[in-house]
Structure 1
Amino acid sequence: MGMAFWVYILKCTDDSYDTGHTDNLEMRVAEHQAGEIPGCYTHQRRPVSLVFSQPCVTREEVLAVERQIKGWSRAKKEAMAAGNWTEVSRLSKSKVVRPSTSSGRTAK
């Protein structure tokens, strides 16, 4: 049996990333590119480019992988998109908590 589902990462024109899943990768990327999904994250951030995709066997697996990737840092997503598994592993092991660069508060 072939792979039934795909998890993917799209890079948007504003250099942000969108992670999703589908059972038809080529069609889904084309839908994002054409703006056929009103209200979706990529709609106002086109054009998009597919930077990563991974096949998954079950719906449960693809949902779990999507949820995991959505929780990753930008650096980790970029390392994975580049195929730099050493860096992905290093970033996974990093326990350093870095303060946010935008706390939402203004300096006094």
Structure 2
Amino acid sequence: MLPMTMQTTWWVYLLRCNDNSLYTGITTDVSRRLHEHNTSKLGAKYTRAKRPVTLAYQEEALNKSTAASREYQLRKLTKQKKEHLVDLYTKKHQ
């Protein structure tokens, strides 16, 4: 196990696709992942057909396991509940 100062930060994120759908994912580098979704085959198959995508929401997770669990929770939410989460995030970060 890595020392506390060396642990990787994990993120859960929602992307807004050009068709207004929301894509949920996890990563250790949100900026890099957003770039991959928009420009390369490293992005998810889902987002490749819906470019450009923009970051709509992100939250920090303690580790990969909690990030994956939270991703699963967010994926199960209705579109309306995801939009509410995005609205709260947007208001908080303006």
1:16 counterpart = 2:52: no
**Would you say the 8 A contact 1:3–1:55 is kept in 2?**
no
Matches within 5 A, 1:30-45: 30-37=35-42, 40-45=45-50
Instruction: Indicate the structure (1 or 2) with the bigger Cα radius of gyration.
Output: 1
Partner in structure 2 of residue 47 of structure 1: 52
Partner in structure 2 of residue 58 of structure 1: 63
**Number of aligned residue pairs:** 84
- 2:48 aligned counterpart, secondary structure: coil
Q: Structure 1: how far apart are the matches of 2:24 and 2:16?
A: 9
Letter in 1 for 2:86: A
Does 1 or 2 have the higher relative contact order (CA < 8 Å, sep 6+)? 2
Structure 1 segments (4+ residues) deviating >3 Å: none
Partner in structure 1 of residue 82 of structure 2: 77
Give unpaired runs (5+ residues) of structure 1.
85-108
Structure with more of its chain in helix, by fraction: 2
Give unpaired runs (5+ residues) of structure 2.
90-94
Shift of 1:35: 3.4
Shift of 1:37: 2.5
Q: TM-score, normalised by structure 2?
A: 0.81
Letter in 2 for 1:34: T
Shift of 1:40: 1.6
Letter in 2 for 1:69: L
- 1:36 aligned counterpart, secondary structure: coil
Q: Deviations over 1:19-69 (max 9, x none)?
A: 000011110011001133366210010000100000111111000000000
